[in-house]
Amino acid sequence: MAILTAPGLATGMAYAAPAAPVAPATPGAPAAPAPQPGAKSLEEVRKEIEELYRQAGTATDAYNQAEAEAKAQSDKIVEIANLIVAGQERISTLKGRAGAAARAQYRSGGLPPGAKLALSEDPNQFLDGANRLRQGEKAASDMLTELDRTQADLKRYAEDASAQWALLEANRIKQENSKKQIEAKIKAAEELENKLEAEEKARLIQLEQEAQYKAQTAWLSTGAMKDVNGVATDAGKRAVQYATAQMGKPYVWGAEGPAAFDCSGLTSQAWLAAGKSIPRTSQEQLRLLPKVALKDMRPGDLIIYFDDASHVGMYVGDGAMVHAPRPGRNVTMAGAGSMPIKAVVRPDA
């Protein structure tokens, strides 16, 4: 079976988080009010909150991706601006050389070659001068060609800069829209949760744990972990150590540490700490990192969840993964099968 790779995991045992015990009723405490007709059950509320946060996670991925693209576009605009400055300086130099050549030709009198030969006292000297003249004409022609090419480059740079500005603006709008969606989904989920009494909130956490436990045990019962015994690479061990060291820190959308993380912020920073730069978002991690079969999974690999790849956790061994779950929760360890798995990807393939 899998090797021990993270604190709290028993070697040789597949991870299955225990279902939270039901808190006993306090003697003399009033019974919980009976649900009103048509009122949602706490389980229905849990599912609604979970779905709102999952939608917020999807929007967070879109926000993070737009932010990464905007950064790349800003860097490209700076690069283009430097090319334009260098091109303008080159044009000034070339124009200066062209002016000097024109002045030199004017001082020579601009006589045609036949007249210069007739007036020359030494034909050999004339031929030598004519050869130098041809060399000078070629240099002047090359200089004008270079001038034309540089001016064409400047025109292309200007067009590229305009295109990058347009993309930057489009991504700014995309970021704003994603941010509004995130804030709206989180607000709706928080409002649902805030309507609950303290006992209901505690029970909500218990229901979350029970749902995860149920999903994990169902996943394990399929034999999914039967042949999973991959050994972490040195880089994988460093990534796992970083990720597990963040346990207890809060989830904050868009955060990349060190005080808080979102799901892909945790995995990308963990692998950066291990010396490997990987894509920022779970969707890009799925798209760009090599996929591996579940049976070949090893600690340090990333598990992408849900059909829209809106969540990611890091496999740490023994059927467990570490992840930043959602707003209102902290970085924690959970069963690798506690959510629907879409794919497994490997940063250090």
Question: Of 46, 179, 298, 311, which one is the catalytic site residue?
Answer: 311
Question: How far is 189 from 179, CA to CA, in rounded Å?
Answer: 15
Contacts of 247 (CB under 8 A, 6+ apart): 322, 330, 331, 332, 333
Please tell me which residue in 6, 9, 263, 333 is annotated as part of the active site.
263
> Side chain identity at 4, as an amino acid letter?
L
Cβ neighbours for 146, distance < 8 A, ≥ 6 positions apart: 94
What H or E segment, with its residue span, contains residue 292?
Answer: strand 291-292
Radius of gyration of the chain, Cα coordinates, nearest whole angstrom: 34
Structure tokens at 340: 């629907």
Q: Which tokens in the block code for residue 134? A: 């041809």
ω before 327 within 30° of 0 (cis)? no
- Which helix (H) or strand (E) segment holds residue 333: the answer is strand 332-335
**197 Ramachandran zone, left/alpha/beta (phi>0; psi -120 to 50):** beta
How far is 253 from 344, CA to CA, in rounded Å? 23
* Active-site annotation holds for 83: no
**263 is annotated as an active-site residue:** yes
323 classed as catalytic: yes
Positive or negative torsion for Cα 337, 338, 343, 347: negative
User: How many Å apart are CA 251 and CA 233, to the nearest integer?
Assistant: 28
The residue annotated as part of the active site, out of 249, 323, 326, 342, is: 323
SS3 annotation, 40-68? CCHHHHHHHHHHHHHHHHHHHHHHHHHHH
In angstroms, the CA 252 to CA 339 distance is 20
Coil, strand, or helix at residue 250? strand
Q: Which residues are catalytic?
A: 263, 311, 323
